[in-house]
Amino acid sequence: MANNALLSSIGFTLAAYSIYVEHKIEHDDGEDFDALCDIEAINASCSAVFSLPEGKMMSFFGLVPEGHPLDVPNGVLGVIFYVYTFIRHFLGTKTRRTT
């Protein structure tokens, strides 16, 4: 069960970092910013992925129109999920095994 708290913490950190990277790229035009997840040796770029339409699931799947206040980056949804999972780990009811 302690693994849930650890994994939630790791997930939260990665989701928060994705929000940071997307913010830097979107609002600072990406000038002189190299994200840790942009790895040129293998031609991988997470910052390019964040700018794809799939980077905002709510509008991509048509749940909200583009530009709507709920049209948030996937990282925001991840932060919400991992915070919920972390809190649920500590506040959740414990089930008893009866054998």
pLDDT digits (tens, 9 = 90+) for 43-56: 888 888 888 888 89
Q: Domain residues of the chain, as ranges?
A: 3-26+35-97
Phi, psi at 95, each rounded to 5°: -95, 145
Regarding predicted confidence, which is higher, 83 or 23?
A: 83
Question: What is the enclosing helix (H) or strand (E) of 89?
Answer: helix 74-91
Number of Cβ within 10 Å of residue 79's Cβ equals 20
Q: How far is Cα 25 from Cα 11, in angstroms, rounded to an integer?
A: 21
* The one-letter amino acid at 73: P
Q: Is the pTM of this model over 0.95?
A: no
